[in-house]
């Protein structure tokens, strides 16, 4: 951490780039905390486990010093006039009081969620990469899993992906043949949704299309037993809307896994308007039982990770457009602060079309003019240069 602090405090072009991009990100994280949207621990854990960052944003503010961050933002605000660069009140107050986020939350109780619903059988709807990963996560944790797809070929694809993953674990000495057999023995595939009738929780991981999801939730409402939890893995759609399609909105919740699900530890547990505390607590406990790290937040565009990550990525594009550095210079400057990837490398991995869609959703929700998608990002999408999946994006592959 000290190395990161020293890098950000340096007097060179790379440090200027890093400060220009990280200060608004830190301000946004402080705003998220101040609004009560998510806790200190959950905001920091979300960025560490969801993005692989070496330190969460609020812990980084503490390490740099709230006064240093507030002063840097004031300088940036004077240069840009962007309201998003004006230090949020909690930062200026901490700077004045010489306090930190760690001190502010030092007496918080440790959250130890319990299963308030019995969970023995998990249902999964979907047969893509994310769905297959979720099936694997639950089966490896000892749960019986029923997964549903449109065809036998799709179901076979799930089995094949999980078998390949387990074989890889065996080759690395992390699993034996008996363990593999046990995991595969917990799986049951079906082309009929009625096979989900006995599941204690059903997790859908189908197309990111609201109408498609609403149709599914109406059907799950018919099929699922009373008290079964209905979860969606959506990263951008309204959980409240999905809940409203059922007669049991109190049992509907978001479980935003990160890809690849068997590897990534983070799950954003997203409560809708009517989700009961018992359902939310059960889902957090369930995540912990599978080795995942749950963070809690409300049903709002971007949740924690995307709401903090994508404005930063968009800012990187705008900095490049303003001749603030070449693609490589900006990527290298951010990796020098121990981020796992530079912003343009990450945009190309995520997909520029996906990134643009998320940024547009954030703007429509929050209305910040400073978050309007960068013209270069829009142009790359219009040109079909979507990143690694098309062979070209900000970089060429």
Residue pLDDT, tens place only, 165-201: 999 999 999 999 999 999 999 999 999 999 999 999 9
**What is the pLDDT averaged over residues 17-22?**
97
Concerning whether 3 is annotated as a catalytic residue, the answer is no
Select which of 27, 132, 165, 235 is catalytic: 235
Concerning whether 235 is annotated as a catalytic residue, the answer is yes
User: Where do runs of H (alpha helix) occur along the chain?
Assistant: 2-8, 13-34, 40-51, 57-64, 66-80, 89-97, 101-104, 129-140, 152-171, 177-185, 210-223, 239-244, 277-289, 305-321, 327-335, 343-350, 352-366, 375-382
| Angstrom distance (rounded) from CA 334 to CA 123 | 41
Length of the chain measured in residues: 397
Select which of 306, 314, 352, 355 is catalytic: 306
Are the CB atoms for 351 and 387 separated by under 8 Å?
Answer: yes
**What is the pLDDT averaged over residues 143-163?**
97
Select which of 136, 268, 281, 345 is catalytic: 268
Concerning whether 364 is annotated as a catalytic residue, the answer is no
- Please report how the helices 327-335 and 305-321 are oriented relative to each other, as an axis angle in degrees rounded to 10: 140
CATH, domain range 2-106+304-390: 1.10.1040.50
Position 373 scores a pLDDT of: 97
Position 104 scores a pLDDT of: 79
pLDDT over 60 at 296, yes or no: yes
State how far Cα 215 lies from the chain centre: 25
| Angstrom distance (rounded) from CA 145 to CA 132 | 11
Select which of 28, 40, 256, 320 is catalytic: 256
CATH, domain range 121-298: 3.40.50.720
**What is the pLDDT averaged over residues 309-323?**
98
| Angstrom distance (rounded) from CA 342 to CA 332 | 6
pTM (two decimals): 0.95
Position 53 scores a pLDDT of: 97
**What is the pLDDT averaged over residues 222-245?**
96
Position 109 scores a pLDDT of: 52
User: In terms of C-beta density within 10 A (0-12 exposed, 13-18 middle, 19 or more buried), how is residue 78 classed?
Assistant: exposed
Give exposure, 19-54, as e/b (b: 16+ Cβ within 10 Å): bbbbbbbbbbbbbbbeeebbbbbbbbbbbbbbbebe
In which residue ranges of the chain is CATH 1.10.1040.50 found? 2-106+304-390
Concerning whether 395 is annotated as a catalytic residue, the answer is no
Round the average pLDDT of the chain to a whole number and report it.
Answer: 96
Taking residue 270's Cβ as centre, other Cβ atoms within 10 Å add up to 26
- pLDDT one-digit tens code per residue, 341-377: 999 999 999 999 999 999 999 999 999 999 999 999 9
pLDDT over 70 at 108, yes or no: no
Give exposure, 222-234, as e/b (b: 16+ Cβ within 10 Å): ebbeeebbbbbbb
DSSP 109: P
| Angstrom distance (rounded) from CA 367 to CA 192 | 42
In which residue ranges of the chain is CATH 3.40.50.720 found? 121-298
Q: Label residue 1 by pLDDT band (50, 70, 90).
A: confident
| Angstrom distance (rounded) from CA 250 to CA 191 | 28
Position 236 scores a pLDDT of: 83
pLDDT over 80 at 54, yes or no: yes
């Amino acid at each position: 951490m000290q190395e990161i602090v020293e890098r950000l405090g340096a007097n060179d072009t790379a440090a200027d780039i890093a400060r220009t991009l990280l200060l608004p990100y830190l301000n946004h994280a402080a705003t998220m905390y101040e609004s009560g949207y998510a806790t200190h621990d959950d905001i920091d854990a979300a960025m560490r486990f969801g993005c692989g960052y070496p330190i969460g944003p609020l812990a980084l503010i503490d390490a740099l010093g709230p006064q240093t961050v507030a002063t840097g933002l004031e300088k940036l605000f004077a240069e840009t006039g962007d309201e998003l660069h004006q230090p949020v009140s909690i930062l200026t107050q901490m700077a004045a009081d010489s306090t930190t986020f760690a001190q502010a939350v030092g007496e918080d109780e440790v959250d130890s969620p319990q299963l308030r619903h019995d969970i023995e059988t998990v249902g999964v709807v979907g047969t893509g990469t994310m769905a297959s990963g979720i099936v694997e996560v639950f089966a490896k944790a000892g749960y019986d899993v029923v997964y549903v797809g449109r065809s036998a070929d799709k179901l076979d694809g799930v089995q094949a992906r999980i078998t390949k993953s387990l074989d890889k674990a065996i080759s690395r000495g992390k699993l034996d043949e008996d363990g593999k057999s046990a995991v595969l023995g917990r799986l049951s595939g079906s082309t009929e949704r009625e096979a989900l009738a006995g599941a204690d929780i059903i997790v859908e991981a189908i197309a990111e299309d609201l109408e498609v999801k609403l149709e599914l939730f109406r059907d799950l409402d018919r099929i699922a037993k009373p008290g079964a939890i209905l979860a969606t893995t959506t990263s951008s759609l309204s959980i409240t809307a999905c809940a409203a399609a059922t007669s049991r909105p109190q049992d509907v919740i978001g479980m935003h896994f990160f890809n690849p699900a068997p590897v990534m530890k983070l799950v954003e547990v997203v409560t809708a308007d009517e989700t009961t505390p018992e359902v939310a607590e059960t889902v957090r406990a369930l995540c912990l039982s599978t080795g995942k790290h749950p963070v809690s937040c409300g049903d709002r565009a971007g949740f924690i990770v995307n709401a903090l990550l994508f404005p930063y990525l968009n800012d990187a594009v705008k900095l490049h457009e303003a001749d603030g550095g070449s693609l490589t210079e900006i990527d290298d400057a951010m990796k020098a602060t121990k981020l796992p990837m530079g912003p343009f490398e990450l945009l190309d991995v995520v997909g520029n079309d996906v990134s643009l869609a998320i940024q547009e959703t954030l703007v429509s929700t929050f209305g910040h003019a400073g978050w309007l998608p960068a013209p270069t990002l829009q142009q790359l999408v219009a040109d079909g240069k979507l990143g690694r999946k098309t062979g070209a994006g900000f970089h060429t592959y």
